[in-house]
Amino acid sequence: MKNLVQDHLSQTFSALADPTRRAILAQLAKGEASVSDIAKPFLKDMSLPGLTKHLKVLEKAGLITKTREKQWRPCKLNGAALKDAANWMEQYRAFWEESFDRLEEYLKTMAPKVKSKGKKNDRKKK
């Protein structure tokens, strides 16, 4: 009953949050492929309609585009759709590089008891 439509970034990340879908993207990174080409490696684990649903998720997220070629539906990777997600992650790069040393060191220089808690919430101490 809430938030019927996902924002763009959420849609991208949740499309990526599935190993089957990431595998599909990996395959398409090697070139266009039809639905049944894509499906082939998965058909031991999953039905074709199951796979079709995954493709639909990827398509709605803009990560792939499906075209028509006779009775086939060649899909291709649309890497541009990863741009925003990648930019979002980029903001945090500093937190997985060098942050270990620098941030840890910084925290150790602080009084070990007063690290957080208040900051903007110290009211009522009188």
Partner DNA sequence: CAGTTAATTAACTAATTGGTTAATTATAGA
Partner DNA sequence: TCTATAATTAACCAATTAGTTAATTAACTG
**Which residues contact its own copies by CB under 8 A?**
6-7, 9-14, 16-19, 22, 25, 29, 31-34, 36-37, 69-70, 72, 74, 77-83, 85-86, 88-89, 91-96, 99-100, 115-117, 119-121
DSSP secondary structure code for residue 111 in this structure: -
Question: To the nearest whole angstrom, how small is the minimum distance from the Cβ of residue 101 to DNA?
Answer: 28
Cα 30 to the chain's mean position, in Å? 20
With CB under 7 A as the contact rule, the residue among 32, 35, 62, 65 that binds DNA is: 35
Amino acid letter, residue 91: Q
Please tell me the distance from the alpha carbon of residue 51 to that of residue 32, in angstroms, as a whole number.
Answer: 16
